[in-house]
Amino acid sequence: MENKDRRVFGSHGRKVTFGRAFFYGLPDMMGGGGFTIIGAFLLFFFTTFAGLTATQGALIIGIARVIDAITSLVMGSLTDNFWRTKLGQMFGRRHFFLMIGAPLMLEYILMWVPGRGFWYYLIVYLLFEIIAASVLIPWETLPTEMTSDYTSRTKMSSTRMFISSTGTFLATFVPGQIISAMGQNNPYAYLVNGIIFAIIFALCVFAANKATWERPVTQEMKDVYNSQPKRSLWQTFAKEFKDYISTMKIKSFRKHIGIYLLSFTGKDTYNTIFVYFIVSCLGLTATDSANILSLSVIGIPTTILAGWLMIKKGPKFLFINAYTIMLLMIIGDYLVYKLQPSNPLVWLLAIGLIYQVGRQTLEFTPWNVFPFIPDLDEIVTKQHREGIYAAFMTFVRKSTVAVATVIVGIVLDESGYVKGAKNLLHEPESAQHAIVGVLVFGAGGLILCALLLALTFKLNKETHDVVANEIDRLKAGGSKADVTPETRKVVEELTGWDYDKVWNEDNAK
């Protein structure tokens, strides 16, 4: 088994420049931009221009994301083991999926064709979610593949989130301008927006595929593979299921997953309900909603600051500040609704600007923490399982977001929400109360829970360096009996394992 593509396999160990980090981060133009558009506008598009009820629209999003979550699990194991195939040896176990995923990004356009039925939208949205997972799961492993240095990985993740924040801004600002130019009630404004962004997504994935590399296949990887017993299809699925469950044996990952799920689901709930809040509760327009959300442009400088604070202060500091800011601004939105000031848009713009600082920090931090989680797994299991961890994170998040989206749709329908209503005069008071309740108690409650869990998080640069140095010492033939008390304490605190039991491949079982 030879690594045939020197561009993909021959660059391991090279310095990660800001240029390389920039091109690596480009696919998050889709992650940050594409899914922001979906979260902010797709359910509204379904209920306003596609003739669907809120429940039908939410079911489409929910069903597709559940299937997508399952796809993510499959992709995690597939990309980790794809080096065993001829295609993986030729193009890379990660880069093969980037290569084929780039042109498939154009499928995004089909989601925004107006006037189709339930099954059409379900199928095209399901396909896009599967394509996106097939690209993002392998791509998310690349910081761990390309370098083991904390600062270099942080550079890559920070640049990625810079791109993501740019995508988030464009994904709210551009639709608002297109809708304003083509008309608030013109469904083809959403289609034009879809065409523009589909082309951008395809180019970004193509560029990342060309500019990045991955870890070469080592003799150790081959020996482990050759030593494994042959399994039936059922045994393979059972082994993969156990692998995913085994990730939860790492204490820091359990906390990380909890923080990630609660905060991102809260953020997504806010995005989904916000356009309804603006149009149906405050009597403003969808363009006003897009303009407020487009204040995410503040996320671009916020990302730079967060990258510096990630190294100087650590993720716990960022978590606490992000969630506190967002909670205060959600309360601010509620006060605008209750007090009904004469200039609500001015107040909402001010609140929205500050909220976006917190939101960008929320999005920045978990995926900057992620590249260091597989190192905690390695010191326990002696294995490289980045793909499994990336896939499991994606799986659990998309599963919970699916449930949250369906609940939002059901709440809207049960509250008497009138689909296609053009302003608040056409909505019953019960629907307005339900929308406000989802905003405050749904989104706000989830973020509050994330804040409480983040207070207990211990992984940072200093503790990670201790673990990384210990891995290097053990790889070099060092004895576990010679571990220092400080290292023992840090390893046990971060992994949740007794030090005497770590560094054993059987721990992955």
Helix ranges (DSSP H) in 415-475: 429-437, 444-454, 461-475
Q: What is the CA radius of gyration of the chain?
A: 23
CA distance 201 to 195: 10
Identify which of 309, 280, 272, 345 has the alpha carbon closest to the alpha carbon of residue 35.
272
What is the mean predicted confidence (pLDDT) over 489-498?
95
* Residue 122, Cβ density class (10 Å: 0-12 exposed, 13-18 middle, ≥19 buried): middle
What is the identity of the amino acid at 194? G
pLDDT confidence of residue 150:
72
Q: How far is CA 368 from CA 104, 158, 322, 379, in A?
A: 27, 7, 14, 20
Q: Which domains does the chain have, with CATH numbers?
A: 25-216+252-459 (1.20.1250.20), 470-508 (no CATH)
Task: State pTM to two decimals.
Answer: 0.70
pLDDT-based confidence at residue 409 (cuts at 50, 70, 90): confident
Q: Which of 106-115, 196-205, 356-365, 393-402 has the lowest mean pLDDT?
A: 393-402
**């200093």: which residue's tokens?**
462
Between 355 and 144, name the one with better pLDDT: 355
pLDDT digits 0-9 by tens, 449-458 = 999 999 999 9
pLDDT confidence of residue 390:
77
What is the mean predicted confidence (pLDDT) over 248-269?
92
Quote the distance between the C-alpha of residue 483 and its chain's center. Answer: 36
pLDDT-based confidence at residue 389 (cuts at 50, 70, 90): confident
pLDDT at 148 over 80: no
Half-sphere exposure at residue 166, Cβ-oriented, CA atoms within 13 angstroms: 17
pLDDT confidence of residue 36:
80
Contact 490, 471 (CB under 8 A): no
Identify which of 69, 73, 88 has the alpha carbon closest to the alpha carbon of residue 8.
88
pLDDT confidence of residue 422:
52
Contact 182, 189 (CB under 8 A): yes
pLDDT-based confidence at residue 299 (cuts at 50, 70, 90): confident
What is the mean predicted confidence (pLDDT) over 335-343?
94
What is the mean predicted confidence (pLDDT) over 496-502?
94
pLDDT-based confidence at residue 110 (cuts at 50, 70, 90): very high
CA distance 388 to 395: 10
Q: What is the DSSP letter of 247?
A: G
What is the mean predicted confidence (pLDDT) over 263-277?
89
> ∠ CA 169-171-173 to the nearest 5 degrees?
60
Q: Over pLDDT 90: what percentage of the chain?
A: 40
Q: What is the DSSP string of 239-256?
A: HHHHHHHHGGGSHHHHHH
- Phi, psi at 103, each rounded to 5°: -70, -25
Close Cβ partners of 272 (under 8 Å, ≥ 6 residues apart): 39, 40, 43, 405, 408
pLDDT confidence of residue 90:
82
Contact 389, 70 (CB under 8 A): no
Q: Over pLDDT 70: what percentage of the chain?
A: 92
pLDDT confidence of residue 214:
85
What is the mean predicted confidence (pLDDT) over 223-244?
66
Contact 440, 270 (CB under 8 A): no
> ∠ CA 113-116-117 to the nearest 5 degrees?
145
* Mean pLDDT score of the chain: 86
pLDDT-based confidence at residue 237 (cuts at 50, 70, 90): low
Q: Which of 13-27, 108-122, 188-202, 221-235 has the lowest mean pLDDT?
A: 221-235
Close Cβ partners of 68 (under 8 Å, ≥ 6 residues apart): 126, 129, 130, 132, 133, 398
pLDDT confidence of residue 1:
43
Contact 428, 301 (CB under 8 A): no
pLDDT digits 0-9 by tens, 62-89 = 888 788 878 877 887 788 778 778 888 7
pLDDT at 437 over 90: yes
411-436 exposure pattern, b = at least 16 Cβ within 10 A, e = fewer: bbbebebebebeebeebeeebbebbb
Indicate if the alpha-carbon torsion angle 459, 461, 463, 464 is positive or negative: positive
Between 170 and 507, name the one with better pLDDT: 170
What is the mean predicted confidence (pLDDT) over 426-439?
89
pLDDT-based confidence at residue 18 (cuts at 50, 70, 90): confident
pLDDT at 376 over 90: yes
What is the mean predicted confidence (pLDDT) over 434-455?
96
What is the CB neighbour count within 10 angstroms for residue 190?
A: 25
Q: Which helix (DSSP H) or strand (DSSP E) does residue 76 occupy?
A: helix 54-81
Q: Which of 233-237, 335-339, 495-499 has the lowest mean pLDDT?
A: 233-237
pLDDT at 333 over 70: yes
